[in-house]
Structure 1
């Protein structure tokens, strides 16, 4: 049986014992282990059923720790860190040999970030080790934003969940690559392309497809992804999720047992992002036949929200209706 605790000391002991423990961050809950302990990191993959070609993010306490694990760090990283770290931004850099291959999926790069959640930071401070941590859920499933979410996902698979309340941001960090002298946004997140432009002067396309990616720049080959969150299917509820481009399509399925997630009901995009995975999980637990959702405006933080929606979706509702005329009213 997994125990939910608010005692930071318990989490620190678990990390130093070589165990995994669920930890709160400002983005989503993470499944943490000592990032320098190969056997401990292996447990992360085992608990999540995560493929080994998918690298992990190494969480550090402060910017002074960066040079211990990464090399050839460009000045732009320090400028961005001054503006947005600790916070929901991850930097992909050339790694030093001290970082185990299992953390980086054998890549010559490492993804690092500085979480801002005070409890996670205290665990980092007291344990004095970098913590490797993906989201604390089964691979491909909805990211957890509360300790109770983690419990539902991983009860019996880990000893402890450190309860730090609900995650404020609610979606995973922005991931930026600085490899080969180029700045690329690998995964959109809370820190937007415009935020990055202000600091680096590097221009990205407004729609978020940026100079960022053409779909092939995400990875070196089919089994070498540069960062987490790049697989086509991710963050998904067990219930099929369909994207609605035109809300009038809902009238054609009005008699069916489905749930529509209305993100426009939130006061702004920050609130919508914070509640996105909560909405996914709530709808999933109601045992509807399917879920529908409309994407938000594809600018700023909306790019990150739409990225999660697309990766969680089964397809569009129009495709679904076309395949199943029995759902027409």
Structure 2
């Protein structure tokens, strides 16, 4: 039976211990609960793919911060400007350094990176290994927006559920592809285009997102 523990800074060492042992942890964020694994543990990373029923496989998201990200990804000027905003509810696509497995990258030469809130920033800062994640969901119809639903969806396959209450925003992070000639918003999320233009005035919208 998965343990449900309240979200607080004091539980960070326990999260790290579970991930170190190859366990899966479900963690509250304001957008949706996430499934976390040790990015260097192939069994844990595989488990996220199995739980989300991904076939074919999709890339996992690397949770990181300004200090640790350069070890795993290449940061050009625009990407660095965005990463300097962390914690911030965006995800970016950037080239990786080929030191994470294909289980994480799904064989792509880029990786998804995110640090949506202060709790994840602190967790990443204290963790000695990279943390990767997938949303605790099966598409848009079955999303874990609270600890009870996370337990119903994933049961004993998740060893620890960190309960922060309901995910109040219930919207994804804004995704920005920094591997294109100009940084481009790939989907709308919590952070709006006009807000991002204040940070990167030349940020682009793809044609399918233009009115």
Which interval holds the TM-score relative to the shorter structure?
A: 0.7 to 0.9
Q: 1 CA distance for matches of 2:30 and 2:142?
A: 16
Q: 1:311-322 to 2 correspondence within 5 Å?
A: none
* Structure 1 residue runs without a partner (length 5+): 205-209, 216-297, 300-329
Structure number having the greater strand percentage:
2
Three-state SS of the structure 2 residue aligned to 1:67 is helix
Q: 1:3 to 1:138 in 2, by over 3 A?
A: farther
Q: Quote the offset at 1:121 in angstroms.
A: 3.6
Kindly state the Cα deviation for residue 117 of structure 1 after the two structures are TM-superposed.
4.2
CA distance 1:167–1:193, shift in 2 (3 Å): same
Please say if residues 86 and 116 of structure 2, whose CA atoms lie closer than 8 Å, have aligned partners that are also in contact. yes
| Aligned residues of 1:45 and 1:52 also touching (Cα < 8 A) | no
Q: Closer, same or farther in 2 for the Cα pair 1:126/1:74, shift >3 Å? A: closer
- TM-score, with structure 1 as normaliser: 0.58
Cα distance change, pair 46–182 in 1 and its aligned pair in 2 (3 A): same
1:145 aligns with 2:124: no
- Output the CA distance in 1 between the equivalents of 2:199 and 2:173: 17
Deviations 1:37-87 (A, max 9, x none): 222100111122123432111101x2121211111x2212222233x4202
Aligned to 2:193: 193
Distance 1:43 1:70, change over 3 A: same
1:97–1:33 CA distance, 2 compared to 1 (3 A): same
In structure 2, the residue matched to 1:19 is 23
**Partners in 2 of 1:89 and 1:143 — Cα distance?**
19
More moved, 84-93 vs 137-146: 137-146
Q: Quote how far apart the aligned CAs of 1:156 are.
A: 2.4
Q: How does 1:53-202 map to 2 (within 5 A)?
A: 53-60=57-64, 62-71=65-74, 73-82=75-84, 84-118=85-119, 120-138=120-138, 141-202=141-202
For the residues of structure 2 that align with 1:20 and 1:108, how far apart are their CA atoms?
Answer: 25
Structure 2 match to 1:219 = none
Check conservation: 1:49, 1:139, Cα contact below 8 A.
no
In the alignment, the residues of structure 1 paired with residue 198 and residue 2 of structure 2 have an alpha-carbon distance, to the nearest angstrom, of 44
Output the CA distance in 2 between the equivalents of 1:98 and 1:203: 29
- Residue 139 of structure 1 and its aligned partner are, at CA, apart by 5.0
- Tell me by how many angstroms 1:103 deviates: 1.1
- The residue number in structure 2 matching 1:317 is none
Contact in 2 for aligned 1:27/1:171 (Cα 8 Å) = yes
Instruction: Give 1:15 deviation, angstroms.
Output: 0.5
TM-score with structure 2 setting the length? 0.87
Extract unaligned runs of 5+ from structure 2: none
3-state DSSP of counterpart to 1:179:
coil
User: Partners in 2 of 1:94 and 1:213 — Cα distance?
Assistant: 23
- Report how many residues are paired: 207
Contact 1:177 1:183 in 2 (8 A): yes
Task: Tell me, yes or no, if the aligned pair for 2:32 and 2:167 is still in contact at 8 Å.
Answer: yes
Worse-superposed segment, 24-33 or 121-130:
121-130
Highest RCO, 1 vs 2 (Cα 8 Å, sep ≥ 6):
2
